[in-house]
Amino acid sequence: MHHFHYSGSDLHCESVDLAAVAKLYGTPTYVYSAATMEDNFRRLQRGLAGLDAQLCYAMKANSNIAILRHFANLGAGFDLVSGGEIRRVLAAGADVKSSVFAGVGKTEDEIALALKNEIFAFHVESEPELARINHVAGKLGVKAPIAIRVNPDVDAHTHAKITTGKSDNKFGIPLKHAAAAYEAAAKYPNLAIKGVQMHIGSQLTSVTPFVEAVEKVAPFAAELKAKYGITYFSIGGGMGIIYKDSLASGQQAWWDAQPADKRPLTPETYGAALVPLLKPLGLKILLEHGRFMVGNSGVLLSRVEHLKRGAGKNFLIVDAAMNDLVRPAMYESYHEIVPLRRDSSRRALTADVVGPICESGDCFAKDRPLQEVGEGELIAFMSAGAYGYAMASRYNTRGMAAEVLVKGSSFELINARESFEQIIAGEKVPAFLK
């Protein structure tokens, strides 16, 4: 569920007319719904009722400091993958004492930063990393809390670029080698074994891979509890969102119309399947969801530049581009595209929706059925709250888009559009070229 809907003919985020946002801040602009984020967080909490659960928002999905503060206020910790992300949490006025630090290539400086800020635990991806964390902790005179990431070799049935739990992925230690890795960890004087972790991938739309992975790793977690006294089991994140029919899916009537066996994965279904498997362990359960928390909470507003009619092909050229939202170019992903003003009297249009960048890959959709829209009119790319702005670039010397947060009838700029002067601020012509 989300809080984007048409009020009359005009697309709204909560109680805010999105055309008013575009008029004030221009396009391309990301707009996020605070209420949708809170609803997603609360539903996941309720779905895990009966567990001692800590939700750690996987902030790589969207790391704007206003959004981090919003989740911190709700009680979230964070799933961190860089020193920069640690600094973002601190800049948001939060702390990392309920957060975990993941990633395959943590540097010594990043490890030290996490330890100085009292990280809850490191999620360790390899045995060489154990030695590095031990070394840094020793120099600081502390014990580093760690959990080893176990790779359960479960096929998440998702896009090849976002699967993480198979034996041929770079993440974690194979389950069959994990006991030896824990024995090695126990010998380091500056490590404190606190838990075990897994994460099998992103955009999972069935609960079955989650169940398979937990069933594989839970017996090992029980062994670790008996042998090392671990206190938590992190089951990662990865719950998917709706991209097709994403606008309709925000309405209760749409959900009610879906056959019971065809309904999308929900926090309720997820919790009902996993709580019975996890509760007998008597461990704290950590979860690191990102896309589910913010994906459907955001849209990207864009303005139509031209409708180019070709021989057998129409091109709707818009001012957003692959540098603003790279997912369609990078993952061949689908985003619903809707007009900000809906008009049933308009003719239907089938077109490729493309940006202005000098790349054939700068294409958001091919042969997409749309309401006919013309120059200067506004559209929205739905389900753009996750991996939109976070993966954006300055390709073609295009400044980063603006970001706006909505709460009820209020909205505020949380990241100003980048100017040309800001783009080149760190560049210079060296003296030997003058």
Active-site annotation, residues: 358
Which two three-digit tokens encode residue 303? 């303005």
CA distances (Å), origin 240, targets 1, 22, 201: 13, 29, 10
The C-alpha atoms of residue 294 and residue 260 are separated, in whole angstroms, by: 25
DSSP assignment string, 14-39: TTEEHHHHHHHH-SSEEEEEHHHHHH
Which residues, in sequence order, are CB contacts of 177 under 8 Å at separation 6+? none
User: Count of H helices and E strands in the chain?
Assistant: 13, 21
Instruction: Tell me: cis bond preceding 28? Omega within 30 of 0 counts.
Output: yes
Could you identify the residue written with the tokens 């997912």?
327
The C-alpha atoms of residue 123 and residue 164 are separated, in whole angstroms, by: 14
DSSP assignment string, 379-395: EEESS-SSSSGGG---G
Q: Do 54 and 286 meet the contact criterion of CB atoms below 8 Å apart?
A: yes
Q: Do 86 and 100 meet the contact criterion of CB atoms below 8 Å apart?
A: no
- The torsion region of residue 376 among left (phi > 0), alpha (psi -120 to 50) and beta comes to left
The amino acid sitting at 87 is R
The C-alpha atoms of residue 140 and residue 153 are separated, in whole angstroms, by: 36
Q: Do 73 and 407 meet the contact criterion of CB atoms below 8 Å apart?
A: no
Interior CA angle at 414 toward 408 and 419, to 5°?
Answer: 140
The C-alpha atoms of residue 74 and residue 325 are separated, in whole angstroms, by: 28
Strand (E) positions, 40-157?
53-58, 77-80, 100-101, 121-124, 144-151
Residues constituting the chain: 434
Q: Do 289 and 62 meet the contact criterion of CB atoms below 8 Å apart?
A: no
The C-alpha atoms of residue 101 and residue 85 are separated, in whole angstroms, by: 10
Q: Do 200 and 172 meet the contact criterion of CB atoms below 8 Å apart?
A: no
